[in-house]
Structure formats: C-alpha cells, structure tokens
Amino acid sequence: MADANASNSGASCLDKLKSYVRTRKGTILAAEILVSFIVIICYAASQAGGYSAVAICEMVFAMIFFGVFMMELDKQFQVVNWVWSDLFRAAIGAVLYLITSLICVIGAGGDGARIAGGVFGLIAGVLFAYDTYTIFLQIKSTRQHTPAATDEGV
C-alpha cells in the first residue's frame, strides 16, 4: 500500500514538472539553470575557475525557486513573500552575471574557455534581466490601486 502511494506521488511530481516547464516562468527558470550550468562548465575548464562561484550560487537559487514554484510551496509557506524574493534573486543575478562576464570577456587574454564562459554569462545576465522584468510586470499588475480609508467623523 505504501509503494502504490509512493509511485503515485512520483508520477504526480513528474506531471507537475512537465506542466510547470511549459509555463513562461518555468521555461525561464529552466533556461536560467541550463545556462548557469554551461557557464560553470566553461569556467571550470578555464584557468581562472574562481568566477564559477556566481554561476553556482545563481544556479542553486534558481533550482530552489523552480522547486518551490513547481510544487506550489509558495502558496503553503506564506511567511516569505516569494514574488519579491524572486525579483531580488533575478535582479542580483543579472547584475552579478553582467559584471563578472564583462570582466572575463575583456581580460581573458587567450583563455578560450574563459571567453566562452563570459559570453554565456552575458546571455545569462540578459536572461536574468528578462526574468526581473517579467516579475516586475507581475508585481505591477497585481498591485491594487484602492484609495485609503478615511474617517469622515474625525
């Protein structure tokens, strides 16, 4: 009986994964994870592997948010404002990727893997910036413009 429940939950998790990746937010997060992984591989093959720290951190954060949104844990754990946290994650990721990638592309000095990591990092920076923009539009559209209540008796 326990095995049947375990296989059902595994199938529903796979179904949730497939359906979430088809959404716009799921596609963006999956692309962020994939591009970050490519950047990690490029930086690991280069002579200056220290730049991979940004890619590792951003990939881990993107995986966490992917899991939270895929399993709809953002609706269960309402202590954290997940949308604003995701906005800050994406904005900081865009800035860090753009800075480190520009440093790597400009000062590579013949290290092909570092240049490739920088180019993919620039792509990741643009992807994270697009994610920031879409989250900003989501926050802007859900914000309600209701007038403040006033006490006329005072």
Please write the tens of the pLDDT for every residue from 4-22.
444 445 558 888 888 889 9
**pLDDT (tens digit, 9 = 90+) per residue, 98-149?**
999 999 899 867 788 899 999 999 999 999 999 999 999 999 988 865 555 6
Tokens 């596609």 map to which residue? 27
Share of the chain above pLDDT 70, in %: 85
Q: Which CATH number fits domain 2-142: 1.10.1200, 1.10.10, 1.20.120, 1.10.3470?
A: 1.20.120
Structure token pair of residue 109? 């000095």
pLDDT in the model for residue 154: 53
What b/e string do you get for 59-72 counting C-beta neighbours within 10 Å, with b at 16 or more? bebbeebbebbbee
The residues spanned by each domain of the chain are: 2-142
Tell me the pTM. 0.82
Can you give the pLDDT at residue 7?
Answer: 46
